[in-house]
């Protein structure tokens, strides 16, 4: 849910139904046959590595249309192959997250794509983790809680006494509710920001938008 841009989804490779889309660029059947012969070997090599790949040789849609479709769907890696690429023994490889394109040697291309998928996965995870940290504020008083909810937004980490009554009161007054109790929550003795009653750990509050 945190990965997207103005062009559509940006899917982490481990979640993407299609991790690599290969699009041929050609003007004749002879060119398509030559590209397909080359691409079939790449498809087999990628599948042997457990990578999900689609070779889109549908001749009812132009390459530009296919590029836009795979961008919108968030496919992590797109490979384009045309006659000139075959001559130079290369392929154009585009990554969805940064939209960076590179001309890559055909030899070892499957290894390059495998490493690229790992790099994209790590990059998206770190971006999401940093965004989460930047959007989370720890507070120890109800006044501070209300101020952060109103002015900054995001997640607010605060002590809660564990009762539905307190949660409902906070919701009535601030429109913020408990989003979750983090799986890695630390046991931390404190006082509920609203009732002042004992609390064993913090929870995450936020407003729904």
Helix axes 142-151 and 164-174, enclosed angle (nearest 10): 50
The domain locations on the chain are 4-132, 136-207
Find out if CATH 3.40.50.800 is the number for domain 4-132.
yes
User: Which pTM was predicted?
Assistant: 0.83
Please tell me what DSSP assigns to residue 19. S
Return the HEC string of 144-201.
Answer: HHHHHHHHCCCEEEEECCCCHHHHHHHHHHHCEEEEECCCCCCCCCEECCCCCCEECC
Residues above pLDDT 70, as percent of the chain: 100
pLDDT digits (tens, 9 = 90+) for 115-150: 999 999 999 999 999 999 999 999 999 999 999 999
Distance CA 168, CA 131 (A): 28
Q: What is the CATH number of domain 136-207?
A: 3.30.110.30
Looking at residue 56, its pLDDT comes to: 97
Residues above pLDDT 90, as percent of the chain: 93
Looking at residue 3, its pLDDT comes to: 83
Distance CA 105, CA 195 (A): 65
Contact 117, 51 (CB under 8 A): yes
Task: Give strand pairing partners of 140.
Answer: none
């Amino acid at each position: 849910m945190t990965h997207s841009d103005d062009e559509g989804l940006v899917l982490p490779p481990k979640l993407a139904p299609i991790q690599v889309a290969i699009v041929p660029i050609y003007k004749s059947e002879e060119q398509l046959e030559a590209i397909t012969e080359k691409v079939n070997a790449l498809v087999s090599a990628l599948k042997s590595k457990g990578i999900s790949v689609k070779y889109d040789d549908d001749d009812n849609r132009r390459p530009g249309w296919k590029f836009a479709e795979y961008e919108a769907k968030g496919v992590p890696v797109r490979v384009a192959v045309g006659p000139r690429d075959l001559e130079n023994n290369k392929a154009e490889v585009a990554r969805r997250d940064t939209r960076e394109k590179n001309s890559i040697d055909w030899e070892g291309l499957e290894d390059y794509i495998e490493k690229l998928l790992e790099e994209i996965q790590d990059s998206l995870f770190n971006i999401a983790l940093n965004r989460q940290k930047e959007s989370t504020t720890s507070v120890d008083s109800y006044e501070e809680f209300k101020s952060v909810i109103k002015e900054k937004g995001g997640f607010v980490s605060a002590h809660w006494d564990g009762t539905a009554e307190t949660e409902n009161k906070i919701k009535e007054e601030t429109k913020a509710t408990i989003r979750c109790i983090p799986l890695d929550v630390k046991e931390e003795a404190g006082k509920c920001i609203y009732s002042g009653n004992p609390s064993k750990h913090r929870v995450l509050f936020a407003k729904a938008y």
